[in-house]
Amino acid sequence: MTQEIQAPPRQIGFWTCLALVIGNTIGTGIFLIPAALAPYGWNALYGWGITVVGALSLAYVFAGLAKLMPEAGGPFDYITSAFGPMAGFFVMWSYWISQWVTNAGIGIGLVSYLTPFAPQFFGQPEVGPLSAIVIVILMTGVALQGVRASGTVQIATTFLKIIPLAAVILLALFVFGSGEGAAVAATNVAPTPIGLSAIAGAAALALWPMQGFESGTVPAGRVIDPARTIARATLIGTLLVGVLYVLVTLAVLLLLPSDVAAKSSAPLADLMSSVMGSGAGKLVAAFAAISALGALNGWVLLQAEVQLVLAERGVFPKFFTRVNKNGMPVYAQLLGCTLSVALIATNLSGGMIEIYSFIVLLATVATLVLYLAGAVTMLALIKRGQAKGALVTGCALIGAAYAIWTFYGAGGEATAWGAALLATGIPVYFLMRRVQARA
């Protein structure tokens, strides 16, 4: 049985909101990105610095929007307040696509981390994608059990996924504390000259694992004391993740030879194995799978919230406001799950890697639309006198510049995909306008 609601129950407290921010940001990216950054040498740290500053600036902007509009249903209401429902719809349409696309990618990544434990089973061509499909369906089932069920899974997996990152950092501290670190680092870091183009390339790569810091604002209508809770969770979570990422990348740069790291499909596992033995590699793979599971849990929970808010605001079909006895939007969850499964199924007869890069590109560009819109929205509110302060103005300007610069860094193909994503919402929006006019 389902029913319609005008406002979802507020069940998300600070710890669940913080777990959403951290858990949705720490997914599969940090377990792979140090390999891509290894050839950049010290440029990687400069790139991370730019990315963390950009992410923190945008996090501060979204936290500020949550404070300004505590009764809002999330980013749609923020953007609509400045630019109207059309802008709000298209930004959130793009973001919603990024969510179910991300879920497909995380499902594929999760299965990849499970492969070392049963290589013959997962090595069969169709087993990997089918396993990813099953996992996405199972996590949708968890989400339909309610916010408390998803929140419990999120808090537990968030705690567990930090363990391997902390272990890598502690390992680096141990090696350097023994007095051997300086000699090892001198030969391991790639001798790439420091330059703006190298820094820009490293910063663009670092964006993917940082995505998700806005997660606390998406279910704003379900958050207890949203003005305070969302702001604290967003800023604390983004800062914590940024620090962890920089330290983990630094550990790989210093302790793993750059040519080895660049060719590694599991740089953290290889680093642990080089010091602690091969058994440590499987242990890291297990925690990476847990990390992916937690991220998938969080993103599955959030994908339906976007549709719910859009439907409540009259720019999406009304039946998406239907919820089950646990207060979860059933049809919204089923649609998101179906689209994720369909995307994975397109690769059913191929390997696990073919569509992963495409998924990353698609999700990144679609999310950038929201980041840029959030920063521009804050600037518009400042111009109208609805917000003020040098810090929030500076963060909005930095956030907007960072989003534009990242669009540029993503290249023309990525920008074209972003435009294509927005265009798919045109018939839906104008159809809903016609429906509203007849009502």
Q: What is the mean pLDDT of residues 10-27?
A: 84
Q: Of 379, 50, 332, which Cα lies nearest the Cα of 203?
A: 50
pLDDT (0 to 100) of residue 199: 84
Q: In angstroms, rounded to a whole number, what is the distance separating the alpha carbons of residues 168 and 190?
A: 20
pLDDT surpasses 90 at 394: yes
In a domain, 206, yes or no: yes
pLDDT digits (tens, 9 = 90+) for 359-378: 666 777 788 889 999 999 99
In a domain, 45, yes or no: yes
**Is residue 42 a contact partner of residue 370, using CB atoms and an 8 Å limit?**
no
In a domain, 1, yes or no: no
Mean confidence (pLDDT) of the chain: 83
What does the chain come to in residues?
439
What is the pTM for the complete model shown? Answer: 0.84
In a domain, 429, yes or no: yes
Which string of DSSP letters, residue by residue, matches 371-416? Answer: HHHHHHHHHHHHHTTSS--HHHHHHHHHHHHHHHHHHHHH-HHHHH
How many structural domains comprise the chain? 1
User: Highest-confidence range of 145-159, 226-240, 278-292, by mean pLDDT?
Assistant: 226-240
Cβ neighbours of 168 (radius 10 Å): 27
pLDDT surpasses 50 at 352: no
In a domain, 2, yes or no: no
CATH code, domain with 402: 1.20.1740.10
pLDDT digits (tens, 9 = 90+) for 59-98: 999 989 988 998 888 889 999 999 999 999 999 999 898 8
Q: What is the mean pLDDT of residues 108-125?
A: 76
Which residue is it, tokens 């299965």?
111
pLDDT surpasses 90 at 303: no
In a domain, 247, yes or no: yes
User: And the tokens for 92?
Assistant: 């959130």
Residue 112, CB-side half-sphere exposure with 13 Å CA sphere: 20
Alpha carbon 119 to its chain's center: 28
- Structural domain that includes position 372: 7-438
**Amino acid code (one letter) for 47:** G
Which residue is it, tokens 């391997």?
164
Q: In angstroms, rounded to a whole number, what is the distance separating the alpha carbons of residues 205 and 17?
A: 26
Which string of DSSP letters, residue by residue, matches 313-334? Answer: TTSS-GGGGEE-TTS-BHHHHH
**Amino acid code (one letter) for 397:** L
Cβ neighbours of 155 (radius 10 Å): 18
Q: Which residue has the higher pLDDT, 258 or 339?
A: 339
Q: Helices (DSSP H) in 222-355: which residue ranges? A: 226-255, 258-263, 267-276, 279-312, 330-345
**Amino acid code (one letter) for 219:** P
